[in-house]
Amino acid sequence: MDRRQALKLFAGLALCPLCGGRGLASEGHWSYDGATGPEKWGDLDATDAPCSAGGQQSPIDITGTIIARQPTLKIEWSKQPNTVINNGHTIQLEVPNGDTLRMGNRTYTLKQFHFHHPSEHLVEGKRFAMEAHFVHAATDGLAVVAVLMVPGRQNAAFKKIVSTMPMEEGPAVPADPAIHSTRLLPARREYFHYEGSLTTPPCSETVDWIVLAHPIEVDEDDIARFAKLYPMNARPVQQRDRRFILSSGPH
């Protein structure tokens, strides 16, 4: 991706459905099943061609990982989300500028986070109940922190989200100020790292994926509440295509 494309990506991020609004989205309608489902995404619009022709598509099954020295994740989130939207594909919360992710000498700005049911990534063939994606942008690409979610103890932040999320597709509304992004992170930060794509059209292959190795627990009833809105909004697992998946250490 050249600099011009990168700047266009960053400028459009606030407008793409699952990466920030509609600026990077396919012009055609897409869904998770039927005639506009994942198998057809690459044919819906010329810009969506990577969905079927790309060589580094996401999500994948995290398996055959290589333990390698990886930079410590420096997650510096302090701002509460300011809006929440039901965009017809997921529940998404927008975050004001200021929160960052640092990996080595690279810094990304947190833009938004959203949810998939069930999980999009698998780990050693195992699928999880849900997955949260924290989408960060820099001038030359994206970094997405993926948090796997399993039934268990109540998570106050997720409970507040499902208790206040819009039940129908529509414009963004103010988010509850009690929602804190950091409370959706596990205590341990070991992670898997690979190069991939957006998991929705246009499936651009511009994403550094950081899949946290340890899931968080959320109340099973809260998972069920989300599932009433989105019974299935996860893209099928894609081919690995000789990519390396790096692990930050034993888990």
- d(CA 30, CA 28) in angstroms, rounded, equals 6
Told to judge if 180 belongs to the known catalytic residues of this protein, a careful annotator would answer no
Residue 178 in 3-state DSSP?
Answer: coil
- d(CA 100, CA 139) in angstroms, rounded, equals 13
Beta strands in the chain (DSSP E): 61-62, 66-67, 73-76, 83-86, 91-94, 100-103, 106-116, 122-123, 126-127, 130-138, 141-151, 173-174, 191-196, 207-212, 216-218, 246-247
Q: Which helix (H) or strand (E) holds 229?
A: helix 220-229
Q: Which residue is listed with tokens 């929705």?
A: 200
Residue 86: left (phi > 0), alpha (psi -120 to 50), or beta? beta
What single string gives the DSSP state of each residue in 42-69? HHH-GGGTHHHH-SS-S--EE-S-EE--
What's the half-sphere exposure (Cβ side, CA atoms, 13 Å) at 230?
30
- d(CA 169, CA 87) in angstroms, rounded, equals 5
Q: Which helix (H) or strand (E) holds 152?
A: none
The catalytic position among 29, 89, 121, 180 is: 89
Q: Would strands 141-151 and 130-138 be described as parallel, antiparallel, or unpaired?
A: antiparallel
Give the residue numbers annotated as catalytic, written as ranges: 89
